[in-house]
Structure formats: C-alpha cells, structure tokens
Amino acid sequence: MTDFKLTDEQRQYQQLARDFVEKEIAPRAAYHDETGEFAGDILRKAWELGLVGAHIPERYGGLGLSTLDGCLIAEEFGAGCTGIGAALDGNNLAQAPLLVAGTDEQKKEFLEPMTGDFSLAAYCASEPGSELDALKATTTAKRAGDEYVINGAKSWCINAGVARWHCLVAATDPAGGAAGLSVFVIPGDTAGIAVGEGGKRMGQRAADLRAVTFRDVKVPRRCLVGREGDGARILGLAAARAYPLLSCSAVGLGRSAMEHSMRYSKQRVTFGLPIASHQAVAFMVADMDKDICAARLLAWQAAWLSDSGTVSGTQAVIARTFALDMAVRVAVDAVQVFGGYGYSREYPVEKLMRDAKMLQVVHGSGNLHKVALGRQLVGVGR
C-alpha cells in the first residue's frame, strides 16, 4: 500500500522552493508580466540552489531527484508565476525524452553540461500538444548518409530564444503516421535554425515562447533519440515523467488564486458582513480547494507511477488535462470573487486568469486530450 507522506528531505526541497519563490519570484512577477522580460537572473539563482534540472541523474552531475520531488518544486514555481516557471516546464519537457530513451553518450553530451553551468533546453511543438495527441509532425527529417536534414517549422517552442539545445519531433517517414515519427535533439547554434520573435501574448508574458524554423538543418545521427519511428513511444514515456510536473505548475497557480480569494473575501464587506460568509462565495472557494486537491493527487499518483517504474502515459495525460482545466476554472472564479476589482491590474487575479488560459492553450486543448483518452477507453482507432 502506498501513501504520499513526504519525507523530511522532500519537505526540505519543498520549503527551499517556497522560500525562493516568495523572495525572488513573487516580488517581480508583475514586472516581468508587464515588460515580457525573460527572468534569466532569477532562473540562474534557482539553478544555483539545485531547483533547475534537479532530476538529471547523479552520474551526469545532477541531483537525481524523483518525479514526485520535482512536482513539489513545480507547484511552488507555479504559485509564484507560471510565466517565469514556464522555463522549467520547457526544460523538463525537452530533457524527458533523453532521460527515458537517450544513450549514455547523448546524456553526457546534452545533459551533463547543464549541471556544470546554467543553461536551458527548448521543447518545440508544431501545435499545442500535437505530437503526442494528434501524432502528426509537419517537420521532416530526411536521412542523408550519416546525417539527417531537417526542414519545417514549430510554432510553439518554450525557451527557444535562450536554449542550449532543442528537442523536437520530426517525421522520418511522412507517410507512416505515428510510426513515422522520430525524436531529435539539436544544438541551438546549428546552422539553419531561425528563431522568431516572441510576440505579445495574453498570458505568461515572461515565458520565452517563440516560433522556430528549420531550413536544411543538418545534424549527425547521434542527435536521433532512440530509433527511427520510435517517436510516439518515446513521447509516451517522456510524458509519464514530464506531465506530472506540468500538472503541478497548474496546481500552484490554482493554489495562488484560491489564497488570494480567501484573503480578499475576508476583507471585503457587503451588507455588513465579509463576503466570505456569503454562501455563494463560500461555495466557490470550497470548490476551488476541492479541485486543487484532486489535481494535486492525480499529479502525485502519475509521478509515483513513473518513479516506481509502472509507466502510465495515460495517467499522466489525465493528470495534465484535469490540472490545466482546473487552473482555468479556479482563476476565473477568483476574478469573480474580486468582482469588478478582479479585472484591474492592481489586483493579482487577472494575471492568474490570463496565465491559466495560456498554460492550457500552449500545452494542448483539454478537448483534444479527451478525444484521445475516449478513443483509447472504447478501443477505436483515430
């Protein structure tokens, strides 16, 4: 039988992350949201404390933290600012395929240097969630001797402007559907990579999120992760490690929205009473807490399965879908609790609502996930 009682070491990591977020991220979240400036100095400090890339195995210089350990860190960053925390999300998503399917040489080449000095990896997707959920890739990788030539574009690339290397899915067999997908890791300074402008976004403005174009990008065979056509399987394994952390980022955002709502509802007085005493508001806050707890448990369950070796990509997708949808619901309700003030930038919940929707959109539509899960449950094809 399993319980989720945290060890003393896990509580220490949780507290370390919470203290860092309260000191370094929370005071500057509004500034980075307003300016869109990438918080590289904050992330470097987090790396120095072991909060970035902590899941890299010890043999490659990392701390070798478990997926559940990472969930504790991700929740705290999500509570502080998911725009700044998106750098961790993208980094985790990019590194996961190497962790589950990379060779020892690939891990030494791409992961080990990230433990010796601060750097980030970029995760590149064609469309939100498309590689795993729709299993399609318009970017192609053609074999040419001992190299692959990659052409195409990725419209959602987290950390693309600051990345040491990129992780992406390309079709090595464009007619093969899911069986024709392969995973590649590409050094960021490779010729032919064109990184676009970030553009103005509704939410997560502090995130480095860009379009990237690949024009005749030549990479050696060692940049292929696993085998040709192994992309769908690798993404499924990677999801089991990366999605629980992403889910906990959403949990952190929801927790922050609920905490703001609770404080405000006790201060705001109508009809001679704090609005927290009114049933409509009390029910709303109670639903927030219920959904946040459920999302956290789903994420922790998926993390535990990953850590125990019982890989469940389906459980990870369920956790992600529920958590991303939860964050939007809770943030919208938080704006409702604040009433008209909820739409003012002088109050924190309007940013949370924008960030929650961006988190949901960038990492895939809940409806798309539900279609894939439903088809799997009833046993029908795509």
Per-residue pLDDT for the chain (382 aa), expressed as one digit of tens each? 467 889 999 999 999 999 999 999 999 999 999 999 999 999 999 999 999 989 999 999 999 999 999 999 999 999 999 999 999 999 999 999 999 999 999 999 999 999 999 999 999 987 544 444 444 568 999 999 999 999 999 988 999 999 999 999 999 998 888 899 999 999 999 999 999 987 788 898 999 999 999 999 999 999 999 999 999 899 889 989 999 999 999 999 999 999 999 999 999 988 888 888 888 999 999 999 999 999 999 999 999 999 988 776 688 989 999 999 999 999 999 999 999 899 898 899 999 999 999 988 877 655 656 666 776 677 665 4
Give residue 133's pLDDT.
Answer: 44
Which residue shows structure tokens 């990591």?
13
8 A C-beta contact, residue 135 and residue 232: yes
Largest Cα–Cα distance of the chain, in whole Å? 78
Alpha-carbon gap, residue 53 to 349, rounded angstroms:
29
Q: What is the spatial distance between Cα 176 and Cα 269, in angstroms, rounded to a whole number?
A: 62
Residue count of the chain: 382
Torsion angles phi and psi, residue 58, rounded to 5: -60, -35
Could you tell me the fold of the domain covering 8-116? Butyryl-Coa Dehydrogenase, subunit A; domain 1 (1.10.540)
Residue 175: Cβ-neighbour burial (10 angstroms; 0-12, 13-18, 19+) = exposed
What is 120-229's CATH number, 2.40.110.10, 2.70.170.10, 3.40.50.970, 3.40.50.1100? 2.40.110.10
pLDDT at 362: 78
User: Do residues 94 and 167 lie in contact, with contact meaning Cβ atoms separated by under 8 Å?
Assistant: yes
Compute the CA torsion angle 31, 33, 37, 40 (nearest 10 deg): 80
Q: Containing H/E element for 155?
A: strand 147-158
**pTM for the full model?**
0.92
Q: Give the count of beta carbons closer than 10 Å to the beta carbon of residue 267.
A: 10
Please, which residues have CB within 8 angstroms of residue 371's CB and are 6 or more apart in sequence? none
C-alpha pair distances (Å), 335 with each of 240, 275, 332, 364: 33, 14, 5, 23
Residue with tokens 């009809």: 271
Long-range contacts of 268-271 (CB under 8 A, 24+ apart): 268/339
User: Could you tell me if 325 and 169 are in contact, meaning their C-beta atoms sit under 8 angstroms apart?
Assistant: no
- And the tokens for 211? 């379009």
Secondary-structure class of domain 232-378 per CATH: mainly alpha
> Cα 225 to the chain's mean position, in Å?
21
Question: d(Cα 30, Cα 34) in Å, to the nearest integer?
Answer: 6
Residue 314 vs residues 95, 249, 377: alpha-carbon distances, Å: 20, 19, 10
Which residues lie below 8 Å from residue 153, measured CB to CB, with a gap of 6+?
A: 126, 138, 139, 211, 212, 213, 214
Query: DSSP per residue over 154-221, as a string?
Result: EEEEETGGGEEEEEEEEESSTTSGGGGEEEEEEETT-TTEEE------SS-TTS-EEEEEEEEEEEEG
Task: Return the amino acid letter for 204.
Answer: Q
Q: Where are the domains of the chain?
A: 8-116, 120-229, 232-378
